[in-house]
């Protein structure tokens, strides 16, 4: 009887000491992280810090800007309020002869513990969400690749990005939603420095990982990504470093 009790004790103890499975993974060409409880772990950090300063917190994606000093690129909602509402004159980005309207951006947020994809249209932000991180354009909707819609000039599908942003192979980050046994998890992806991608290729990665909804976030020299407390990709654009207004998602605790 004593042996049985001791055996049960050490068995329970051994099980308790088993490490939790990693929430981030490394694949050829990209990294990806899973946030299985978005309501608890989807935290937007709106402090003006450089990406290298917040990697240790478990940050997995950053969205910053050097286009509009003092304001992040994309709407931010923390605790149901927007700490950095963009001024109207900061919502437009000149790309050559083309003006990109940033007043309509897609992003990922949490509403009543459920992660959702939505578009913040100018001043009409998604105020019902407790947490929201505005990004760029669409990758997936209802499991379908809708990335070509990012070039549409109708305004119905978002900012209408020029083809050099969509088709260039550059560093990319994305956030998506995946259904796992009836519960929705977040998927957060970054390409590696040695394997850049187009927006269409990024949509393929998100779809292959099982995401049904996905949005792309910062890319190129503005891309920032960390997981497990490690800086895996830091922004290289000098403007990003001079204007450290980054917002990020916290996970991998």
Q: Taking the domains of the chain in order of start, what are their residue ranges?
A: 22-73+138-250
What CA–CA distance (Å, rounded) separates 90 from 173? 22
For residue 143, what pLDDT is reported? Answer: 95
> Measured in Å, how far apart are the chain's first and last C-alpha atoms?
40
Q: How far is CA 30 from CA 89, 166, 200, 205, 233, in A?
A: 35, 18, 15, 9, 11
For residue 13, what pLDDT is reported? Answer: 43
Choose between 55 and 16: higher pLDDT. 55
Indicate if the pLDDT at residue 126 is higher than 50. Answer: yes
> What own/partner pairs with CB < 8 Å and gap ≥ 24 does 165-168 have?
165/95, 165/199, 165/219, 166/137, 166/198, 166/199, 166/200, 167/198, 167/199, 167/200, 168/198, 168/220
For residue 121, what pLDDT is reported? Answer: 58
58 alpha carbon, distance to own chain's centre: 13
CB 145 within 8 A of CB 207: yes
38 alpha carbon, distance to own chain's centre: 12
Mean pLDDT, to the nearest integer, of 81-105? 59
For residue 37, what pLDDT is reported? Answer: 86
For residue 10, what pLDDT is reported? Answer: 36
For residue 189, what pLDDT is reported? Answer: 95
Confidence of residue 60 (pLDDT cuts 50, 70, 90): confident
Element housing 39 (H / E): helix 38-41
Q: How far is CA 22 from CA 57, 61, 81, 110, in A?
A: 16, 17, 32, 23
Indicate if the pLDDT at residue 90 is higher than 60. Answer: no
What CA–CA distance (Å, rounded) separates 163 from 200? 11
Percent above pLDDT 70 for the chain? 68
For residue 1, what pLDDT is reported? Answer: 43
Indicate if the pLDDT at residue 242 is higher than 60. Answer: no
User: How many other C-beta atoms are found inside a 10 Å radius of the C-beta of residue 57?
Assistant: 17
Look at residues 112, 90, 109, 108 and name the one whose alpha carbon lies nearest to residue 100: 90
For residue 25, what pLDDT is reported? Answer: 92
Indicate if the pLDDT at residue 177 is higher than 80. Answer: yes
Choose between 214 and 160: higher pLDDT. 214
Indicate if the pLDDT at residue 105 is higher than 90. Answer: no
Backbone torsion region of residue 220, taken as left when φ is above 0, otherwise alpha when ψ lies between -120 and 50, otherwise beta: left
């Amino acid at each position: 009887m004593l042996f049985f009790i001791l055996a049960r004790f050490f068995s329970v103890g051994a099980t308790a000491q088993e490490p939790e499975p990693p929430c981030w993974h490394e694949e050829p060409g990209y990294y990806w992280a899973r946030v299985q409880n978005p309501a608890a772990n989807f935290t937007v950090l709106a402090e003006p810090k450089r990406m290298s300063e917040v990697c240790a917190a478990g940050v997995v994606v950053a969205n910053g800007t050097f286009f509009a000093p003092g304001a992040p690129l994309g709407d931010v909602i923390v605790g149901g309020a927007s700490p950095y509402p963009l001024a109207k004159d900061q919502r437009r980005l000149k790309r050559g002869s083309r003006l990109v309207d940033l007043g309509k951006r897609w992003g990922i947020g949490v509403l009543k513990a459920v992660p959702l994809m939505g578009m913040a249209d100018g001043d009409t932000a998604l105020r019902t969400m407790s947490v929201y991180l505005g990004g760029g354009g669409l990758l997936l909707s209802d499991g379908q690749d809708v990335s070509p819609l990012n070039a549409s000039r109708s305004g119905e599908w978002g900012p209408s990005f020029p083809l050099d942003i969509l088709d260039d192979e550059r560093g990319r980050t994305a956030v998506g939603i995946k259904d796992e046994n009836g519960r929705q998890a977040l998927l957060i992806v970054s390409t590696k420095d040695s394997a850049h991608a187009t927006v269409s290729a990024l949509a393929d990665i998100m779809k292959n990982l099982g995401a049904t909804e996905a949005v792309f976030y910062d890319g190129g020299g503005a891309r920032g990504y960390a997981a497990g407390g490690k800086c895996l990709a830091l922004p290289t654009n000098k403007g990003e470093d001079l204007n450290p207004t980054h917002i990020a998602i916290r996970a991998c605790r």
